[in-house]
Amino acid sequence: MGQHGIEDVAYASDEAGHGEAEPKLDRTASNRIGEMNLASGHQLQRGLKSRHIQFLALGGAIGTGLFIGSGGILATTGPAPLFMAYLSMMFVVWVVMNDLAEMVTFLPMKGISIPYFVGRFVEPSLAFADGWNYWYAYAMLVAAECTAGALILQYWTHAVPVAVWIAIQLIVILLLNIIAVSFFGEAEFWFASIKLLTILGLIILGIVLFFGGGPNHDPLYFRYWQDPPGAFVPYLVQGNTGRFLAYWTAFVRAGFSFITSPELIALSAGETVAPRRNIPKAARRFVWRLAIFYGLGSLVIGVIVANNDELLLDHQRAGGSDASASPYVIGIARAGIKGLDHVINAAVLTSAWSAGNAFCYSGSRVLYSMAVNGQAPRFFSLTTRRGVPWVAVLFTLAVGCLAFLNVSNSGSQVFQWFTNISTISGFIAWIVIMITYIRFRKAMEYHGLLGSLPFRTPLQPYATYAVLFVIVLLTLTNGFQVFFPSEWSASNFLAAYITIPIFLVLYLGHKAYYRTRFAIRVEDVDVWTGKKEMDDMCAADVEPVPRNWLEKAWFWLA
């Protein structure tokens, strides 16, 4: 593809598909702004295997939220809303993951990102706003995870200043992201493995305590779900309304644990080996693994610790963020088991480091893709000889240095604003993903290609419409508490809703400057460019045949 204008763009025909002639499209509508530059000088490298992208996504999803943040939901709403909220969010994440997997499996080109598909299937102004929304969210989440890691390390010693721990983590993340994508993938695989084994061990321990296998041999069963303290803690008002508000609050807060995690698989598609074989495999397994870890993990929390436990409430009031605030540590200590707090703290530290690593990768790839598309300065598309977008990595980490604001108390308050804003960015990003998928599906139907999709998921498009409605509702009501007179806070109101006008300013400002249409007409949506190349590349893929049971097990994982 040429680098100087749309006139040089080469469009693939569908000879590899149905053998039909490609229809005459208004190319400029889909490609004038947001053109994909496939010149060799801007190419990433395919160095990620199936196990890498599976654990990359899990690493981004399972962070400090499950180990520590779940305690706040339990204390506020009770065990039943905690469990129900995570189950509800499972369905939301499943649909978002399916939408992304269908699109990126169809066109797993190097350098793609979610904003690229938004610009191609919806319109460029929405892609511009979505891209910068994603990049900001990922950059701020890097800072948030480095901050969490520094506070976790202080559980063991206060002799080392917080700033030193933050600096060490940023340097390690830089090294893991700048060397080579295969090295990054391997490190993320082992980081994620540690915390997955930890949460699996905690689930097994919780089952043992459920049946009375602890040192005191006292079976817990569902003791803490009975009155008192009860399965539900009415929120703000009493009765059934209070119970529903408790569930809805838990639902909103559970979403914060998952924001931007399904996207990690999609963002890595262009750097994945055999993408049409490995992306569907990773997408299918991702949600089931989350269901096991978050579903069973949240259920175990409600079994081993009461929502009115004094130790739990004290840590929530104090804003604890290390192992001592973990509901797992509190519940296990109540059962008479000592010493596991250090093990869990180490696992939480690994979680923070792993999530920060994954978010830096994702933020840099979004920025790289936007630069290749012409929606960010072109120098962000520069790569090393090993295909690492080093300028995008450095710039993303530079913003991650805002973690140093936490060294001072006033800076800590400012930083809390940034992180609160970034969490709502995740909900907005999911809304854009579902709008993009709906347009993608309509365009595929119009051009008669829907049946040729290499990966199709169930319940579509009805599941997408249903989840789109739910996420819009979650976004609009995420700060509903501030509308109760006793809960009003100007700072909390802004933290909950200021992301919406920021996104609209980016969207409307770009649209006013470039005078783009509201949406590309379905008949002009380009579903052809890159299709033949991807068909040919994936047709040449030969799935390895295991020679023994050991290789069979390894191929299943990898």
pLDDT at 32 over 60: no
pLDDT digits (tens, 9 = 90+) for 79-90: 999 999 999 998
The stretch 447-465 carries a mean pLDDT of: 91
Among 22-26, 83-87, 89-93, the range scoring the smallest mean pLDDT is 22-26
Residue of 451 and 440 predicted with greater confidence? 440
Q: Taking residues 115-130, report their average pLDDT.
A: 92
Q: Which pLDDT band, with edges at 50, 70 and 90, does 160 fall under?
A: confident
For residues 448-454, average pLDDT: 89
What is the distance of C-alpha 92 from the center of its chain? 12
Tokens of 28: 């400029």
pLDDT mean across residues, the chain = 80
Backbone angles phi, psi at 272, to 5 degrees: -100, 135
Beta partners for residue 111, in sequence order: none
Inform me whether the pLDDT recorded for 7 exceeds 90: no
Residue in the structure block whose two tokens are 């889909």 = 30
Q: How far apart are CA 196 and CA 256, in angstroms?
A: 19
pLDDT band at 181 (very low <50, low <70, confident <90, very high): low
Residue 374's pLDDT is 84
Q: Which of 135-149, 484-498, 532-546 has the lowest mean pLDDT?
A: 532-546
Question: Could you tell me which residue, 491 or 526, shows the higher pLDDT?
Answer: 526
Q: What is the pLDDT of residue 501?
A: 93
Reading the block at residue 514, the tokens are 């470039």
Confidence of residue 41 (pLDDT cuts 50, 70, 90): very low
Looking at residue 309, what is its pLDDT? Answer: 85
Q: SS3 letters for 517-535?
A: CCCCCHHHCCCCCCHHHHH
Among 64-73, 188-197, 432-441, the range of highest mean pLDDT? 432-441
**Percentage of the chain with pLDDT > 70?**
81
Q: What is the pLDDT of residue 397?
A: 92
pLDDT of 13 reads 30
How much is the CA Rg of the chain, to the nearest whole Å? 24
pLDDT at 512: 92
Of 138 and 465, the one with more pLDDT: 465
Q: For residue 487, what pLDDT band results from cuts at 50, 70 and 90?
A: confident
pTM: 0.84
pLDDT at 471 over 50: yes
- Checking if the pLDDT of 412 tops 50, the result is yes
Could you tell me which residue, 481 or 4, shows the higher pLDDT?
A: 481
Two structure tokens written together for 240: 């059934």
Interior angle at CA 337, CA 331 and CA 339, nearest 5: 105
- Lowest mean pLDDT across 1-15, 374-388, 524-538: 1-15
Q: How much is the pLDDT for 85? A: 93
What are the tens digits of pLDDT across the range 283-340? 888 878 788 888 888 899 999 898 888 888 887 776 665 567 778 888 888 888 877 7
Closest CA to 351 of 286, 343, 421, 301: 343
- Assigned token pair, 387: 């295909």
Taking 90 as the threshold, does the pLDDT of residue 503 lie above it? yes
The sign of the dihedral angle between the CA atoms of 425, 428, 429, 430 is: positive
Which tops the pLDDT comparison, 483 or 274? 483
> Which segment of 77-91, 280-294, 496-510, 540-554 scores lowest on mean pLDDT?
540-554
Higher pLDDT, 261 or 220: 220
pLDDT (tens digit, 9 = 90+) per residue, 360-389?
888 898 898 888 888 889 889 888 887 788
Mean pLDDT of 444-459: 90
* Residue 182, pLDDT score: 66
What does the pLDDT read at residue 180?
A: 65
Confidence (pLDDT) at 358? 81
* 540/503: higher pLDDT: 503
pLDDT confidence band for 230 (50 / 70 / 90): confident
Neighbours of 85 (CB within 10 A): 26
Query: Tell me, what's the pLDDT at 416?
Result: 62
Which pLDDT belongs to residue 80? 93
What value does the mean pLDDT take over residues 531-540? 78
Identify the weakest region by mean pLDDT among 128-137, 222-231, 405-414, 422-431. 405-414
pLDDT of residue 4: 36
Helix H, strand E, coil C: the string for 148-185 is: HHHHHHCCCCCCCCHHHHHHHHHHHHHHHHHCCHHHHH
Other Cβ atoms less than 10 A from the Cβ of 347: the count is 24
Per the model's pLDDT, the better-predicted residue between 548 and 34 turns out to be 548
Higher pLDDT, 26 or 125: 125
